[in-house]
Amino acid sequence: QKEVEQDPGPLSVPEGAIVSLNCTYSNSAFQYFMWYRQYSRKGPELLMYTYSSGNKEDGRFTAQVDKSSKYISLFIRDSQPSDSATYLCAFNTGNQFYFGTGTSLTVIP
Amino acid sequence: DTEVTQTPKHLVMGMTNKKSLKCEQHMGHRAMYWYKQKAKKPPELMFVYSYEKLSINESVPSRFSPECPNSSLLNLHLHALQPEDSALYLCASSQDVPAGVDNEQFFGPGTRLTVL
């Protein structure tokens, strides 16, 4: 079993839609949960991070963590064409980062 | 300044060439990383430096040689690479390697390397 599972997509949504991106993980040592956004031919950019179960909101973005189910989600409200990118979930044991494969998102105007 | 810079942006090299990738940060971070990313794949960790000492080497071939001259700089020396080494090479930094609520990684824009 892979330590991190993420649906690669691609995912296409109309502008204004709510987007839900998800990752599952198997390693109980993961302590920190992150979402990165990566535009084509650019380095990943940290969007959100959290270390506890529950929801964390930042503008149009909400990160959700369910440690009991080993499941994290990123919700994007009122999606914009500028949100078109690859979204990577990432996990940190404290010594090493693990990335999901990334989900490619296209928001269509 | 929350920026990690990398030079060059693009590099084309032959299999017999020797070249170096450079990374710089001025955030006072004490952990720096090299990742390799192939198209449509997640970043793969290569090396971790903590307090200017190599702390993790993920079984990377010796044709890749990292160097940390000081706490702000990280180099990756390349020699006798293969075409399959063509990828985006990403540098990242974080406050420290042990866990901490402020231990986010900041990535540079990457160097796009092509080996002919």
CB-CB under 8 Å, B97 with A97 = no
What local confidence, expressed as pLDDT, does residue A94 receive? Answer: 65
Kindly tell me if the per-residue pLDDT of A60 is higher than 60: yes
Going by pLDDT thresholds of 50, 70 and 90, the confidence category of residue A31 is: confident
Chain A: closest CA distance from residue B100 (Å): 7
- How far is it, in rounded angstroms, from Cα A61 to Cα A39? 17
> Residue A44: which of B41, B45, B107 has the nearest Cβ?
B107
DSSP conformation letters of chain B: ---EEEE-SEEEE-TT-EEEEEEEE-S--SEEEEEEE-TTS--EEEEEEETTEEEEE-S--TTEEEEEEETTEEEEEEES--GGG-EEEEEEEES-SS--TT---EE---EEEEE-
Beta bridge partners of A75: A20, A62
Write out chain A residues lying below 8 Å of B56, CB-based: 95-96
- pLDDT > 90 in chain A, percent: 65
- How do A32-38 and A85-92 pair as beta strands? antiparallel
Chain B: closest CA distance from residue A97 (Å): 8
- How far is it, in rounded angstroms, from Cα A3 to Cα A8? 15
- How far is it, in rounded angstroms, from Cα B65 to Cα A102? 28
pLDDT per residue as tens digits for the range B19-44: 999 999 999 999 999 999 998 888 99
- How far is it, in rounded angstroms, from Cα B74 to Cα A41? 21
> Residue A46: which of B33, B101, B105 has the nearest Cβ?
B105
Residue among B36, B16, B25 at smallest CA distance from B111: B36
